[in-house]
Structure formats: structure tokens, C-alpha cells
Structure 1
């Protein structure tokens, strides 16, 4: 393993504009490592930062990308040469929030491509704190770059499933079930024993595919009103004699329509988990929460402690990755951002350095 003279990177120099450039390799502090990037996933959060002007903690120029797998090339001696997944949210591990077990929302957290200085995953290398890295001991033949999606696309839904306490026999509804988060939310819900996993999305072809990966029923939103979707869900529930209460809903789109469908389906002693990021605003009569004794729960990232068990689910093929990953060279980053922004991809793009 060799330390490079420079870090090669694709920087966002301003919203909507990327530039390939070289930056200095920083002096590593105690407890830090330098990771050679094997792959970095293109997340809708990155795309939102880039196109929609959502403010990052570090102002441009900075390198986006927080869904990273790679190899340690310098720093903590016991980790050099190890293959690792970098958690998308790196907590401080030294505050009351971290001590409470909610380190995923640590106020001092570092997030590559957002609040880790100028450093992100769309680069050849990245310096990161070593404490919470997830070491990959045996990939079982799966390419390391495929595991980049564990860093966010899989662990964030897993954290949501934990917050919802999915149990055997649960009724689960997923809006955006065919998207970058939803395809894994579906598999996770099924792996945790949900009796019904009802996938809601627009694209009928993708919905059909979801039946092979955990979904038990699908509802397409194409050419339908919110009430149409609600009525179709209720009709299916009645036909299957499912309870009209205790439903666990996961909103994975981050869109106004996805949020409004989820809120419309909320009922007695049910839970709605907000998993997808977006900037849309929705109106809701909060007294319904009181009347239903229901909950709306936000969930951000995932505590690093869950990463090893999520990785094991992937390696045991209880969560399948390969059918949902599209590997492309990092030099195609602009096209990858455009394709992701358009929202019609069948797979999540993971970019591999080719500087």
C-alpha cells in the first residue's frame, strides 16, 4: 500500500458545477486513516446538494460522496491493508447524544461530502476517523466496490427498521419501494419477518421486480390520485383480511407525493418512518396523530454499531446487492448525476476511481 502524493478528486466548486482537481494529502491525526476509494455510490442526497442548492456544512469547493468502500493505506497501523466500509455518519462518541445510543444524530458528527472538511468519496482517497470503520474480513467473492451501498443505501433503511421495531407478522408499506433506498427497505422488512411488504411506486416494471426481492404486493401510483392509492391499499387489505391498525410505513422517496401517500395511509397505532431525504413540504392535520395514537418518526443515517450485522446480511445474501448496482468509472460522474437526478434508473450507480 502506498500513500499518494496528491488526492485526485471531482470537486463541486459551486452548485451545479464539477471540476476535476488535485488536493493535498493532509497530515493524519492520531486515530485517523487514509482510505483508497474502491467505489462511491451516487446518493440522492448528493444529487440534492448538487442540483437543488441544499446547503452542505462545508461550503464549496468540496468533494461530494458519502457512500464509500475502500482500503486503508495509511494511519492506524493495525488497519493498514484492511478493506473497509466508511459509515456515512461518523459520530464523535463523546457526547450525551452518543451516550444515549443515538450517535447517528450526533451534533458533532462528520459526514463525508458534507461535514468532513473538503473531503468526500468522489475521489481517489479520503482521510477519515478510524474508530467506527466497518472492516470487511471476507467479501465472499463480492467486489469491494459493490459494498459501497452498505454505507448508506442499506444501513439507513436498516436503522429505520430498527426504530420501527419490525416484528414477525407485521404489515409494512413502503413508498418509493423501487428507489435507491426502497429496494433495500423491502428486503430488510422481509428478512425481519414482516407478513406483508406492500411496495408502492410509479414504475410498473420495477414494481414487478420487487416481488422477487421481498415485496408481497405492489401498487403503482401511475395516473392515480392519492385517494386512488389509498382505496387500492384498503381493498387489498380487506381481501387479505389484514388488520386496519398497527401498520408500519416507510417513506423512502423524499417527495411531496410520497409523503402525502404515506400520511394518508397512517391509521390507528401505526408508525410512519421518514427515510428518504427531500425538500418538499406537506400539510397534515396533526390532530389525526392524537386520534390515531400514531407516530411519525424521522430517522437519519445509521449508528456504526449496526454496520457489521448489515454487512453480514449482505454476505449471507439475505439482502441482495448485485441486482441493484451499476458500476461506472468516476470520469462519468456528470452523466451519473444527471441520470440520478432524472430518476429513471433501474440500479444505483457506484463510481470507481479512474483518475
Structure 2
């Protein structure tokens, strides 16, 4: 029977924990001791098992994306763990439950939130940008944003569901509204694009074309379900996409890089009525070309960000039933004390990683 459980007493939890702390003014960080936070009303305290290192984390570290919260913040937003304590008013959860926290908190005040459309919140607070994340031994989360991890899903794979897999899922299923039998191109088959390929395959897209500079990444895309993998520098790229689509061009293209060159190349590969979904982000400006060609082609360009919390549960079921294989998505694990090394590996693309995990 669900019951309101008070916060676990301090005798069962340490007073301090290890956490990565980023100074957003100097863009320097250290792993240091901080107080273990106490869950407030509607919150839970999670003992972190694993937390991914994402390219958006790198963008905060190099100043591409500005911080949205306190001047010193803990990074990491792709987490899995077990509930260590419940705040006042939390029902339906128990200490020890294996969970994935959502990587954002809806404001609860905007027009979308008032309609209970939390995934469309216009003032969403992003974990690790607006409030402390999970490169730490413990992290706080709203109980309403939790997803239970099914038996048979590892903590490692559960961690990356919250963004690395759910954001591509949202892009494919919601934003692109991809249908069975449609043709797909994926520009950038790394951490996000790898999962766009897999989910497009799961949805029934055909053919699927992966485009990437890295031959290791191209081969991985083929192994995971792409029908064709091309180098974006190939002078015959456009012709080969036309050939594989029967001269029609792509029904949907996903730009998982976010650079002007990938955006414009993907746009040019669309067929009549095709839609381009921007998933990767940068500070570069994009061009849609001439209005005449854009309108004559009935082209659609759609921006994508994040996912619905319910998507994590769907993905967890797909993994638990063997429909979605994420065994190749964990490229390495580093201890919290060595988070700088994990950041370096991802930044330098050493070994063409999909995701590096931090283990507190």
C-alpha cells in the first residue's frame, strides 16, 4: 500500500559526498566533498549508480552553452540509481527502488504545464544546467519524473536512456513522426545518431543511410541497422542517396551534429515533402536556401529537444524484452575521481565512443 514516508534519518546516510563541481565563470571544475542534499516535498534522493557524459556537458564546459542556474553546479544528466530517501508527500516509491530520473523539471506555471503538457514546458529547468546533476554520489529528483528500471535492464544501460536514447526516440517517433517504409538519412552517427539509426530501424524505416566522417562510426552504424553508410566528404554522396531511394530523395533526415554543413547537406538530400529534424546543436547559423526551392519542395524543417518522461519507460521495456540492444552503446566507464579523463576521451573522440559513463 503506497504510503508517505519521511526523509531517511541522517544516521543512515553520510553527511557529505563526493561530487564534481563546475565554476561556470571560470569553466574549471574539481571533484570535492559537499553536503548530501535532503529531499524536499515531492522529491527523492537517489544514490547514483552511473551517469553518462554527453556532448551537451562538453558544451557547458567550453562555454558554448551558458549555465542557467547557480554559479557553481554539478554536471551530469543521464543517471541511474536507487532511491536512498523520500521527501515529504512522496507516494508509490520506496527506498531501494531502481530508477532513472528525468533530466529536466517542468516549471508547473506556463500555459503548457497548466494543460499538463509537461513535455512542452516553455520554462523547463535542465538538470546539470539549471540545477545540480548526477556526477556525484547522490542527486535529487522530482518523484513525478522517475521511471522504474525493469528487471533485466542493467544500471549502465538504464543511465543512458535519459537523453542518449530517449532524445533520439523523441526525434524519430514524435518530431519526425516517422512511418514504416519511409527512407531516412542520419548525419552524425555518434552518441545520438547511433540511436537514431537503431530506433528508425525499429520503427520500420527503409532504407536507412548513415553519414559520418569516421569509418569506425560508419561500420558501427551498418552493424546496428543502417543499410548504407557514407562519408559526408564523398563527392557522389547526393547521387548515392538518390540511387538508394529510387531517385526520390529522403523522406526524413536527422542532423545529429548541428553544424551548418551537416544541416544544409541533409536538407539538400530530402525528397519532395521531406522533413529535416535538427537534433544536434551548435552556435552556427543555418540556411534554408531560396524560398522558391524550399516552397516548391514542400520542405519541412523541425527542431527537436529532449523527450517525454513516458518515453524512458517505453525504451526500458524495449531493452528488457530484447527489442532494443544497447550493448554497444557503453564505450567505457570511469570513476568519479577520473571524470576529467572521461571528458577528454569523449572530446577527443578517442576510440569513436558512443557514451562514457561516470561511476561515483
Could you tell me how far apart the structure 2 residues matched to 1:205 and 1:100 are? 45
Do 2:207 and 2:244's aligned partners in 1 also have CA atoms closer than 8 Å? no
Q: For structure 2, which runs of at least 5 residues remain unmatched after alignment?
A: 1-7
Aligned position for 2:186 = 174
Could you tell me how far apart the structure 2 residues matched to 1:108 and 1:165 are? 24
Of 258, 264, 288, the match for 1:260? 264
Aligned position for 1:230 = 238
Do 2:259 and 2:284's aligned partners in 1 also have CA atoms closer than 8 Å? yes
Q: 1:192 to 1:93 in 2, by over 3 A?
A: farther
Question: How do 1:1-355 and structure 2 match up within 5 A?
Answer: 2-14=12-24, 15-75=26-86, 76=90, 78-93=93-108, 95-98=110-113, 102-116=117-131, 119-138=132-151, 140=152, 142-162=153-173, 163-177=175-189, 179-221=190-232, 223-224=233-234, 228-237=236-245, 241=246, 243-244=248-249, 247-285=251-289, 287=291, 288-325=293-330, 326-344=332-350, 345-353=352-360
Deviation of the 1:250 alpha carbon: 0.8
Q: Tell me the TM-score normalised to structure 1 length.
A: 0.89
Q: Tell me the TM-score normalised to structure 2 length.
A: 0.88
Could you tell me how far apart the structure 2 residues matched to 1:127 and 1:271 are? 38
- Report the 3-state secondary structure (helix = DSSP H, G, I; strand = E; otherwise coil) of the residue aligned with 2:223: coil
Do 1:170 and 1:195's aligned partners in 2 also have CA atoms closer than 8 Å? yes
Do 1:229 and 1:261's aligned partners in 2 also have CA atoms closer than 8 Å? no
Q: Deviation string for 1:87-124 (max 9, x for gaps)? A: 222324554223667533413323210112xx111111
- Report the 3-state secondary structure (helix = DSSP H, G, I; strand = E; otherwise coil) of the residue aligned with 1:134: strand
Kindly report structure 1 stretches of 4+ aligned residues shifted beyond 6 Å: none
Q: Paired residues, what number? A: 341
Say what the alpha-carbon RMSD is for the aligned residues. 2.0
Q: Deviation string for 1:152-189 (max 9, x for gaps)? A: 01000111112211111110111012x00011110000
Could you tell me how far apart the structure 1 residues matched to 2:115 and 2:247 are? 36
